[in-house]
Amino acid sequence: MENPLLTMSGLPPFSKIKAEHVEPAIDEIIKDSQDQLTTLLTNTTVHNWNTLLDPLEKINDRIERIWSPISHLNAVLDHEELRTAYNQSLPKLSKFQTEVSQNETLYQAIEQIKKSNEFAELDFAQKKVINNFLRDFKLSGVDLTKSKKEELKNIKQELVSLQTKFSENVLDAGAAWSKHITDMSDLTGLPDSALALCAQLAEQRELDGYLVTLDFPSYFAIMTYADSQSLRQEVYQAFVTRASDQGPHAKQWNNSSVIESIILLRQKAAKLLGFSTYAERSLATKMAENPNQVLEFLDDLAQRTQPLARKEYQELAEFAKSSAAIKQLNAWDIMYVSEKLKQEKYQISQEELKPYFPLPKVITGLFEIINRLYGYHISVSNQAETWHKDVSFYDIHNNKNELIGQFYMDLHARENKRDGAWMANCITRSNFNGRVNTPVAFINCNFTPAIGEQTALLTHNEVTTLFHECGHGLHHLLTKVDYPSVAGISGVSWDAVELPSQFMENWCWEKEGLDLIASHYETDEPLPTELYNKMIAAKNFQSAMFTVRQLEFSLFDFKLHCDPNINSIEQVQALLDQVREQVAVVTPPAYNRFQHGFSHIFAGGYAAGYYSYKWAEVLSADAFSLFEEKGIFDRNTGLNFLSNVLEKGGSEDAMDLFIAFRGRKPEIDALLRHSGLS
């Protein structure tokens, strides 16, 4: 029987991919790649782009094409057989990739090309590919002794397994908790849509009444609207103790030892490579030049923001006493009381806005905004298999009706799907032998699903999340770079990768943008001017509190990876407590174990890089300020951003691309103004 992972020539055949196909496909692609690499290095001693780099790009591209649907299914359709196959295959792939990046013969061959006369004749992107390869060889320990190379390889294999385990623990712990409620009076305060969601969740499990889960739409509804303080506390405790030594499933999926092992191994790997800390190792591939620059950036923002955040918190605490009869404001009261205060100050709520953001209208408007900015047309396609009935697939065409990109959208929360929102590569653009391969992306969110026959209605927060992930998608899909390792988001400095995503969020706040994405789901009435004005007035409500929360995450992450002496979960907690004392205005209860679910840094790519969100926000706000000057749909400015940022991918340094677009280095003023912090 043919293995569909090995025989696919285009889009993944999801209906045919089974767990039993995974490991044999990975074994075969690794062996095949090893054989090809050996042939490349033994056929000649004089190498050039066509004889070495182009084939190497092809090898890596084929591996990504096979691994990406496996990795994707593991995130959106998790089950025991697939999880086992994934966990058995991932260390093998890591081992192979580390061995390639430690191959001295390959390193010397690429270095030979760098020193040859041919190098000067290569285009800018080709030079970037070569320079990145040489940098990454050094960062993989190509210069180490044989025993140290082996040690580093083992560390990397163990790290990928631990990071997967961390993510699985969070998923399993979250899925294990639910609360069955039969008396509707226990859910007083919830709007009709949230009640309907709880009823639908119960019905899906063949239960009467209502079900509360830790999936974000359910969690958000309880924390924001439930009048029952005891219910909010119960749900909050279950959520913030997931995968930890605390809470209703204490120690069952405990990430404590996983965290200890991850930070210890990262420190060991950094030391082997000659770095004093993992933070230094992390910055070797980022825009920021050194750890002090990052810490100064975060500290400066904290000093600007914290006084405002304290004022916002004080206002909230006073309102809680006077209007909500809550004398002591607890962590599980923050979202609830904030929503009440917001409604009193601005007479607006997310719930009031939802009828104006039916999902089909939002998607159609999003595509129209992309068309007005860049001239591309997006249309739904039925030419692809999907992994779930709710998944849709789209084509992107240019004005010549040429297909230039495709993407899947999987937007709703469900069981066995990783939480959060993310964009992932399915296929990266390439041009081998004159044949351009169209890039393909996965866009994933966890929005409130449709209730019954009614179309799904989004909160405005969910709308901005969709625009954010589609910004990442455009970065991947609109690239004109022909070499996969620097095409789209590949090879982009991690602290610049959030620029296109945060940049897209701006159109969710502009009247001209909202006119395209918002209309009442029943009457098609546009968003009323009065409601829009309230929405803008409330835009920066508690923005300082939100900012210090992000700074808390960023400083905790960066300081954790700056200190090689931290090796126990108690020290991790102590550091988090210290950071909170420095910047936070909300003190969580002692049982809070935020770090045990901090997947961005312990299971994702943000270790010593969570600051990137704030760093890139400076870039995105400053980039959008040019549209504010010229007009938010000014085509020339849109094409300028397209040609200097989106199309270039990782083929040039991020700062150079920003300067090419903006005409100068980034300035923080626009961010402070947009956030109401100036």
Neighbours of 375 (CB within 10 A): 13
Q: At 558, which helix (H) or strand (E)?
A: helix 543-562
Domains detected in the chain? 4-101+103-139 (1.20.1050.40), 177-240 (no CATH), 256-348+543-610 (1.10.1370.10), 355-537+613-674 (1.10.1370.40)
3-class SS of residue 210:
strand
Strand pairing report for 403-412 and 440-447: parallel
Torsion of CA 200, 204, 209, 215, to 10 degrees: -60
Whether the Cβ atoms of residue 563 and residue 216 lie closer than 8 Å to each other: no
Please, which residues bridge with residue 443 across strands? 409, 423
- Could you give the CA distance from residue 539 to residue 131 in angstroms, rounded to a whole number? 43
Task: Note whether 407 and 477 are within 8 A (CB).
Answer: yes
Q: What is the pLDDT of residue 678?
A: 81
Beta-strand runs (E) in 214-363:
none
- The residues, any chain, with a CB within 8 Å of residue 476's CB and separated by 6 or more, are 405, 423, 425, 428, 439, 441, 488, 489
Strand intervals (E) in 413-515? 422-427, 430-432, 435-437, 440-447
For tokens 């205060």, the residue is 341
260 is catalytic: no
Task: State the pLDDT at residue 43.
Answer: 86
Rounded CA separation 87/73 (Å) = 13
The residue written with tokens 């700074």 in the block is 551
The answer to whether the beta carbons of residues 266 and 275 sit under 8 Å apart is no
Instruction: Kindly give, in sequence order, each residue whose CB lies less than 8 Å from that of residue 656, ignoring residues fewer than 6 positions away.
Output: none
Q: What pTM does this model have?
A: 0.96
For residue 17, report the phi and psi dihedrals to the nearest 5 degrees: -80, 120
pLDDT along the chain (678 residues), means of 10: 91 97 98 97 92 97 98 96 97 96 97 97 97 97 97 97 98 97 97 96 96 96 97 98 98 98 98 98 96 98 96 97 91 97 94 96 98 98 95 97 97 94 98 94 96 94 98 98 98 95 98 98 97 96 98 98 97 98 96 98 97 97 98 98 98 97 96 92
Which of 168, 260, 462, 469 is the catalytic position?
469
